[in-house]
A and B are shown apart, each in its own frame.
Chain A
Amino acid sequence: MADARTPAAHPSRNWARVRRAGLPYLLLLPAVVFELLVHVVPMLTGIYMSFKHLTEFFIRNWSAAPAAGVDNYRFALDFNNAVGKQLLESFWTTCEFTVLTVGLSWLLGTGAAVLMQDPFRGRGLLRTYFLVPYALPAYTAAITWEFMFQRDTGLVNTLLVHDLHLFKTAPFWLIGGNSFWALLITAVWRTWPFAFLVVTAGLQNIPGDLYEAAALDGAGMWRRLRSITLPQLRSVNQVLVLVLFLWNFNDFNTPYTLFGNVPPPQANLISVQIYDTSFQNWNFGSGSAMSVLLLLFLLVVTAVYLLLTNWRRRSSDA
């Protein structure tokens, strides 16, 4: 260390400086340790696993698993093979699902937040009520939707078929093409309250005099929304959309609870696909490789998104 080479003339002063400089790190240490334990170590383990042929023969002793090189990656990206093809299909399904979920959640959340902006009787109650889906545990919420979507006994078909007579024969919601919409509805129902919460918080920071000035200038509600509310919410929205995207792209609870371990092909999200590879086919190596690929993809998307939005903000601010 550099300290050893400094002249020994002022050891006490040096020590004091070390102590002063070191204290913040010491205080950070617990946080760093936990961050490593919770995030970095499992992630590194996952990356390590992705370069191993880790199948049922080795789960008792991981270190004995033979090295795989990039075999697991080549296998996951071989789109002529059934597994690669399915991974690609589920990737597109997930993209579609995520874009729709984020879009609808944002729209509902922002709409509700804006409508709740002006005080009225019962506003607090309604705001709390809107947050219920977000407060419910994921499993409870999804299993309730699963009951509602059942063909013979579900609430959805009771309403659509028996009460409203919209269909002659009861449609399926948990299998076939409709399963995608069932998944989407459940996911939007679960995530829009978060958008609502964040946008509501963001709205509190918009100075009221902006609206007053705009009202004096004769700006209508729509104009105020477009010219004041949305631009003022930009930084909030930037984070909100990113978080919603990451959550939904990775969502495992909702599809797994709705459909069990074999989701219909039309609603096969990538996280369940990776789970199947790892835990049903007992191939933890290629499951990890898929996870690493997913991680890389999300990193790239996040980086590009942040660069783009920051650049646009800076250029519009300038």
Chain B
Amino acid sequence: MRVSRPALLTLAVATALLASACSSSGGSGGTGSSGSAAGTTLTYWASDQGGSIAQDVKVLTPELDAFTKQTGIKVKLEVIGWNDLLNRILAAASSGQGPDLVNIGNTWSASLQATGAFLPISDDVMKQINGTGRFLPGALAATGAPGQPPVGVPIYSMAYGLYYNKAMFQAAGITQPPTTWDDFVADGKKLTKAGQWGVSVEGAQTPENAHHAFTFAKQMGGSFYDSSGKPTFDTPQNVAGIKRYVDFMAADKIANPSDAEYSNGTEAVKDFATGKSAMLLWQSADATLAQYGMNPSQYGVAPVPFDAASPSGPNHVDSIVAGINLSIFANTKHKDAAISFMKFMTSQQTQMDLNKAYSSLPSVSDAYGDPAFQTQTVKTLQSVLANSAAPMPAVATESQFETVIGAVVQNLFADAASGKPVTDASIAAQLDQAQQKLQAGG
């Protein structure tokens, strides 16, 4: 009679295993496209473009309503903050339970492409969304690894610029925004005085740090990957580039040491907007600056300075190709509806409306007719994007690259803030560790 006890227990275990197996297989449902798209509901994860999630909902809702009116397709919107977005996408990719469409930072394209989570935008899909030949070539370059079909289309384009406070420049007797780093540092020193710093940096924010490390190293002729896609972090050029950036705080003393703590992606902008710093290196900051009460007439926008007066060739880089792409999850059950939403989001009118609201640049050439995109600021950034912006490395480990390099710069800022010297050797050692971590990840 005793034998029946283990038997019952076995039964219990088997039942439990069966139950769990059933629940976990629910995600891999059919992915066929639906016949008629009208009446379906799409789930859309938007990124935070407006400085706050409430602001994004306010901007996007009328557009989504217009889409529903046009097509009969409803859209369930969720705006996700930058700190969570990548993790949410990863979780959605691994569980198969996700939205139909999602905004991604365009620098993640190659990494997310490698997961296979997104629908490849074939020529056929491109035709369906009316997109062939309309997108800016630079923006389209940041939608995946070269030679593979892109995994999204650009919807908002951005570039880094040097934002400067006109009144502070005038008070310090500076007539022209600096075009070389030597001038930038000299001006920064003139602008640094009690309660005011030359420049503010977001020293503990991973993507910001990684973008600057990339651009600054590029200007020195550095590169974080060789042509075969192998990481080459610890090169003298990369060290020199990162040192120039961290030296704003460490050696030149034109950035507030407190900036080493800034991590949420708004604090440096807020300092600039509230007159605590005179300069800011940022991408498409107008909307956020306005939110903090700064009037566009109070500041000017110039290209980010270069190493020498007039660089040429591959060192002629002063921004990443920044921007947001819209991607369709491969698991979507509403492929046709998702494609028509993509078509709507890249249409001329929507591009004008949304990029105006977010102070970003349209990613399609036919939207630039609107007078809102004829301002000096837009023209400056547009020229940067067209002439001197480079896409972040299009390798599968790009998102890890941002993480480890962002952490390197963050640690160096922390050293600088607490008075520890930042030397070529200390930067090289950190880069070396970062590269080991990256290689271990693959």
Q: Which residues of A contact B (CB under 8 A)?
A: 1-3, 14, 17-18, 21-22, 25-26, 28-29, 32-33, 36-37, 41, 55-57, 59-60, 62, 75, 81-83, 86, 150-152, 170, 172, 174-177, 260-262, 264-265, 276-277, 279-283, 286
Contact of B115 among A25, A60, A82 (CB under 8 A): A60
Q: Judging by beta carbons under 8 Å apart, are A33 and B16 in contact?
A: yes
* B436:A83 contact, CB within 8 angstroms: yes
- Let me know if B258 is at the binding interface, CB within 8 A: yes
Contacting pair A176 B417 (CB below 8 A): yes
Complex formed: what's the CA distance from A261 to B205 in Å? 10
- Give 28 CB contacts A-B under 8 Å: A1-B3, A1-B4, A2-B1, A18-B1, A22-B8, A25-B5, A29-B15, A33-B16, A33-B19, A36-B16, A37-B16, A37-B19, A56-B111, A59-B117, A60-B96, A82-B440, A172-B414, A175-B204, A176-B414, A260-B263, A261-B403, A262-B206, A262-B403, A264-B411, A281-B404, A281-B437, A281-B441, A283-B442
The stretch from B87-95, B218-226, B370-378 touching chain A is B87-95
B90 near A279 with CB under 8 A, answer yes
Interface bits B1-20 vs A (CB < 8 Å: 1, else 0):
11111011100110111011
**Given A57-B115, A262-B407, are A25 and B8 also a contact pair (CB < 8 Å)?**
yes
Q: Chain A residues with Cβ under 8 A from B400's Cβ? A: 280-282
> In the complex, what distance in Å separates the CA atom of A62 from the CA atom of B24?
12
Interface SS of chain B: helix, strand, loop or mixed? helix
Smallest CB-CB separation from B21: which chain A residue?
A41
The verdict on B399 contacting chain A, using a C-beta distance below 8 Å, is yes
Residues in A whose Cβ lies below 8 Å from that of B2: 2
Of the candidates B83, B87, B260, which one forms a contact with A260 in the assembled complex, judged by CB atoms under 8 Å apart? B83
Given A1-B7, A56-B114: A176 and B12 within 8 A (CB)?
no
Interface residues in B239-266 by Cβ distance below 8 A to A read 256-258, 260-261, 263
Contact between A33 and B440, CB atoms less than 8 A apart: no
Query: Which chain A residues lie closer than 8 Å to B188 at the CB level?
Result: none
* CB atoms of B114 and A151 under 8 A apart: no
B114, A57: Cβ atoms closer than 8 Å? yes
Are B440 and A265 interface neighbours, CB within 8 A? Answer: no
Interface footprint category on B: 35 or more
A81 touches B16 (CB 8 A): no
Chain B nearest Cβ from A53, distance in angstroms: 10
The smallest C-beta distance from B329 to any residue of chain A, in angstroms, reads 10
Task: Give the dominant DSSP class at A's interface.
Answer: helix
Query: Given B3, B12, B261, which contacts A151 in the complex, CB threshold below 8 Å?
Result: B261
Decide if A82 touches B4 in the complex (CB within 8 Å).
no
Which residues from B are CB-within-8-Å of A22?
4, 8
**Would A262 and B410 count as touching, CB distance under 8 A?**
yes
Q: Separation in Å of the B328 CB from the closest CB of chain A?
A: 15
Residue among B12, B17, B411 with max Cβ neighbours from chain A (10 Å): B12
Per-residue interface assignment for chain B, residues 337 to 365, with 1 indicating a CB less than 8 Å from any chain A CB and 0 otherwise = 00000000000000000000000000000
Q: Other CB < 8 Å A-B pairs besides A25-B5, A262-B206, 4 of them? A: A32-B13, A59-B93, A281-B400, A281-B440
Which of B17, B94, B404, B433 is A36 in contact with, Cβ under 8 Å?
B17
Within 8 A of A (CB), among B79-112: 83, 87, 90, 93-94, 96, 111
A172 near B417: Cβ-Cβ < 8 Å: yes
Query: B106 to chain A: closest CB distance in Å?
Result: 17
Measured CB to CB, the closest approach of chain B to A273, in angstroms, equals 11
Assuming A36-B16, A60-B93, A174-B261, is B4 touching A55 (CB within 8 A)?
Answer: no
Task: Kindly list chain B residues whose C-beta atoms are within 8 Å of the C-beta of A37.
Answer: 16, 19-20
B406 partner residues in chain A, CB cutoff 8 A: 262
Give the Cβ gap from B441 to chain A, nearest Cβ, in Å. Answer: 4
Expressed in whole angstroms, the minimum distance between the Cβ of B45 and any Cβ of chain A is 17
Which residues of chain B are within 8 angstroms of A62 by Cβ–Cβ distance? 94
| Chain B residue with Cβ nearest A58 | B115
Within the assembled complex, what's the spacing in Å between the Cα atoms of A1 and B8? 11
Shortest A11–chain B CB gap in Å is: 13
Q: Which of A2, A32, A286 contacts B440 (CB 8 A)?
A: A286
B396: CB under 8 A from chain A? yes
Complex Cα distance, B437 from A22, in Å, reads 54
Contact check: which of A26, A150, A176, A262 meets B418 at CB < 8 Å? A176
The answer to whether A172 and B8 touch across the interface, beta carbons within 8 angstroms, is no
Q: Which A residues lie within 8 Å of B115 (CB)?
A: 56-57, 59-60
Which of A14, A28, A260, A276 has the most chain B CB within a 10 Å cutoff? A260
A46–B312 Cα distance when bound, in Å, is 52
Judged by a CB distance under 8 angstroms, whether B116 is at the interface is yes
Question: When A and B form their complex, which 4 residue pairs have the shortest distance between CB atoms, in order from nearest?
Answer: A82-B436, A281-B441, A2-B3, A36-B16
Which residues from B are CB-within-8-Å of A2? 1-4
